[in-house]
Amino acid sequence: MSDALAERLLAALPESAEPAAVEARRRFVAAGLPTPKTESWRYSSLRGLQALNPVAGHAAAMAAPELAGLGGTLATLTAGDWVFISDVPQGVSLSAGASSRRNPAPVGATSRRDLAAAVTADARSEDGGRDTRSLLPGNTSADAFRLLNEAGLPVSLQIEVDGPVAGIWRLALQHDALGLSQTRIRLKLHKNAAITLVEHWFGADEAVGLSNVVFDIELEAGAQLTLIRLQDMGAKAQAVQQTQIRCADGAQVSLVVLELGALWSRHDLKLQLAAAGATVHVHGLVALQGRQHHDTQLALTHAAGAARSETVWKAIANARSRSVFDGLITV
């Protein structure tokens, strides 16, 4: 099943000659999708994706739910399009990139077998005939969905914060996919910048597709980020997200994660304390019911001394729901 699903996902991607996208596609082929033998995926089966039609469109849009106490909504994602706030707060800049809905490759245009042959040939030619695929960084099935995202020209948003920003600001992110939807968000806080941001995922119950998201966050020296993730997608949603946060000297992150919605979801959360004085506080709550499944994979790396971290994670799984948590701290 995984090979057939991988082929359908690849065929749904837009064509691109960009070297990074081509390389990511090749690595995706070499890695393959995770299986029950993939250690970090052993409790999250992809069986529910077997019926996914990656090229299906979007469900009818719904209005973003109101949240009290907001200064405003910086950006809204609906049906693969970004809409920005008209009055961007001082110290914040926003820009949007390519849409994954444009120019999809015809189904079967590029087969997984052809790409696999190309990967093998390239890997061997680079090292005198020896197959070096296993030496490529990020070339494992555990990284497959990030590679798929990088290969697919995802709907992208770039946020830069240059100074302290007052108030609480939201990203209103609608899961309205019937097929495959890919999104990439990059947030950079420059030196001594600060912002409080709500990452708000929501959607109608009719949206049965797969959302594949990469959220990369970088904090320069002295920057401060309070990030509240509220995941309250529709009852039939399927979602995979990798959030990666890197903290420089003296940077501070306060992260609150609420995983409430979606039928099947997974969140890979990677935090790197890259310099002395970096501080991270992570608090998570997973609350599930019915047949919901959620998997959190937390990897926290202390890459330098004099860095501090605190993690508190709780889960409530009612009825036949299932919550998975795997935490790894590396010093």
Question: Residue 327: what pLDDT?
Answer: 96
Q: Which two tokens stand for residue 261?
A: 């919605």
Q: What is the pLDDT of residue 138?
A: 64
134-151 per-position pLDDT tens digit = 333 467 899 999 999 999
What's residue 132's pLDDT?
31
What would the mean pLDDT of 216-230 be, rounded to a whole number?
A: 99
The yes-or-no verdict on residue 188 having pLDDT over 60 is yes
Q: Which of 162, 158, 214 is nearest to 187 (CA)?
A: 158
**10 contacts 93 by C-beta, under 8 angstroms:** no
Confidence of residue 131 (pLDDT cuts 50, 70, 90): very low
Lowest mean pLDDT among 33-47, 112-126, 173-187, 247-261: 112-126
Residue 119 pLDDT: 39
Q: What would the mean pLDDT of 6-26 be, rounded to a whole number?
A: 94
Q: Which of 188, 185, 198, 207 is nearest to 57 (CA)?
A: 207
**Torsion on CA atoms 98, 100, 102, 103, rounded to nearest 10:** 120
Kindly give the interhelix angle for 19-31 and 2-11, rounded to the nearest 10 degrees.
Answer: 170
Task: Report the pLDDT averaged over residues 109-129.
Answer: 39
Q: 134 — phi, psi (to 5°)?
A: -70, -15
**Res. 3 pLDDT band, cuts 50 70 90:** confident
DSSP 212-241: EEEEEEEE-TT-EEEEEEEEE--TT-EEEE
Across 231-257, average pLDDT:
99
In the predicted structure, residue 206 carries a pLDDT above the cut 80: yes
User: What would the 3-class secondary structure string for 167-207 be?
Assistant: EEEEEEEECCECCEEEEEEEEEECCCCEEEEEEEEECCCCC
- pLDDT band at 127; cut points 50, 70, 90: very low
Closest to 291 (Cα-Cα) out of 266, 321, 259, 315? 321
pLDDT of residue 139: 72
Instruction: Indicate the residue type of 254.
Output: S
Reduced to 3 states (helix: H, G, I; strand: E, B; else coil), residue 58 is strand
Percent of the chain exceeding pLDDT 70 equals: 87
In terms of pLDDT, which residue wins out, 29 or 111? Answer: 29
Q: What is the pLDDT at residue 83? A: 97
Express each pLDDT in 47-94 by its tens digit.
999 999 999 999 999 999 999 999 999 999 999 999 999 999 999 999
Asked which of 153-162, 190-199, 262-271 is least confident by mean pLDDT, the reply is 153-162
> Residue 14 gets which letter from DSSP?
B
Average pLDDT estimate for 313-323: 98
